[in-house]
Structure 1
Amino acid sequence: MMGASDKVTVLTREDVALHNTAKSVWVVVNNKVYDVSEFMFDHPGGEELLLQYGGQDVTKVMKDKLEHEHSESAYDMLDEYCVGVLAPEEGSKAHSKKAVVAEERVGTSKLGTKKPFIDLAKPMLKQMVYSTWSKEYYLEQVHIPRHMTDSAPIFGHPALEMLTKTPWWVIPLVWVPLWSLALYASMHKIGVGLTLQLLPLGVIFWSFLEYTLHRFVFHVEEILPDNRFALSLHFLLHGIHHYLPMDRMRLVMPPALSIIIATCLWNFFSMILPEYLVYGLATGVIPGYVGYDLTHYYLHHGRPFAAHLREMKTYHLDHHYKDANLGYGITSKLWDRLFGTVLY
């Protein structure tokens, strides 16, 4: 990002108009020029929208409630892609296309100058543990999304970093065999008929768990203690996902963590439910979880082909970019509607 004393390239509208393809997309906002090529396929509204307006002034479009009114964090993120300023209409040919010294940089961000927070080039956990931020300040900053091409370091040590990163295809690779074992065990213990009856109930039960965990475990802002250790735990659990929502390697849950959580859930429900119910429901809960994790990844980085997925992509990304305190459903809005937390 350019500072107040940095050199700024002056560009004409003709220069900008040339960048309207999938290889290079530039847009103009408030007379500043942004190269959003790198962000195009991660754009919450889809790359088609950026291509539609490539090489054009999108100042009014970004404020249009009918099109898609952008959040303050969107403007804040946009500043990272600034490549120059737009030359005035009059005498624009007289402006050099070389770098000139800017008298003053007026940021596009509605948030003003960025406040100090986590340095993404350094291990983030250490910064959290030694931070002096208040809970209010932390929650404000962690819900201003940032975008990086690569994953920011959490621990700093390569071996520990690898444990925090999971490609999407690892989820079915790990859980499909475990589901097969659960299915076999259930059929052996309670029979094929009862297993097939309980499987769909398990899928529905998972969808409730999906909502419950997201709302009451990942989003505990109201009861979160105001100390650096509690804030650090919150950051590791879910805050990092809101701070860096497009990190491809941290969108699905690492298998080690998911198996620990699954074991805790198994033991808990084994204490309160008959054994046959636990085995039968597990045959639906596991594919429900796999579907949720893969859907979550797809909503962030996929190009939805079905109307429901397109709707849920917009819905979930609005949870990130507009209001993190509503819209907890990932695969559907069912429980949001039932419990009054629907985003819109």
Structure 2
Amino acid sequence: MTASGQREQPASIRDVARLAGVSHQTVSRVINNHPSLRPETRRKVEEAIEQLHYRPNRIARALGTRRSGTIGVVASQRTQYGPGAAVVGIEEAARRIGYLVNTTNLISADPEEIRAALTAQADYRVDGIVIIAPQQRVLHALDELALDLPYVLLHSRSNDDPHEVFVDQLAGARAATRHLIELGHRDIYHLAGPQEWLEADARMQGFLLELSDADLSATAPILGDWTADFGYRAGEQLAWQGDLTAVFASNDQMALGVIHAFRDAGWDVPGDVSVVGFDDVPEARHFWPPLTTVRQDFAELGRRCVARLLSQPAAAPSTVSGESLIPHLIVRNSTAPPPTTPR
């Protein structure tokens, strides 16, 4: 506020130019990161922007650059930890470079629902769309629609799709299974997620491949639904059977339910049975015992996703292949060598 009680007007681009001693066109070039500027000129303008707390007019900037400064996200099943964390990672990465994120949540995999979501994003004149669609049927519906603007998929269907930026779920599952094998476990069960989810199928395949490479026989994976309640029911059944020393659960919530069921049945974790999860949810370190799990770096996924999206030409196919991130095994106290005496 001024001394007279009037609210001060925000600084304009001409105010910045006046303070820096340059033209307003030069300030515009600095804002839009134009390469042909002397470092000293750029520094003076940036100092003036900081001093005046200048914020560029987003509408004017969009007209000048032919970009809206907005990224669209179409997300399915955001209530699950993975998709929700991926959206947060994208929002953080976009904010760091001055972009906004407009998110549309898919209620169903109906083609009309997907078409409506994409149309809504196009109406916002977004510079590109990130598609977080863990279910196979959603991607099938997307294949039938011709997207005429840059887009990125956060899931892998092939090794050479330039639109894909994803966490290597198969590698993460292999690392989790290998950890149990290296501890000495031979009787290992896998509690899988819903098989229409790409991640669930990849994690199950990683489990089976790692057992095969170790020349170990595999029991049929138990198909779950991602919830701790299902994990508990599966854990009750496994404790009753008693023919195992380890469980690899396809997400941390099901691992939590499994641990709860084993404890209720009088089993010690990890003394009698080891449990590994997947995702490394924020609470995983506070499970009892703290959970060994596979961590996905959603912040880095978001950064790479935004970088890939904004580097795509509006038209013309890219020659760049898909990009994968390798998740990391986090070893805590829920895993140990198998007991010397079976239960």
- Report the TM-score range of the alignment, normalised by the length of the smaller protein: under 0.3
- TM score, norm. by length of structure 2: 0.25
Q: Name whichever structure is richer in helix by fraction.
A: 1
With normalisation by structure 1, the TM-score equals 0.25
Q: Which has the larger radius of gyration?
A: 2
* Bigger strand share: 2
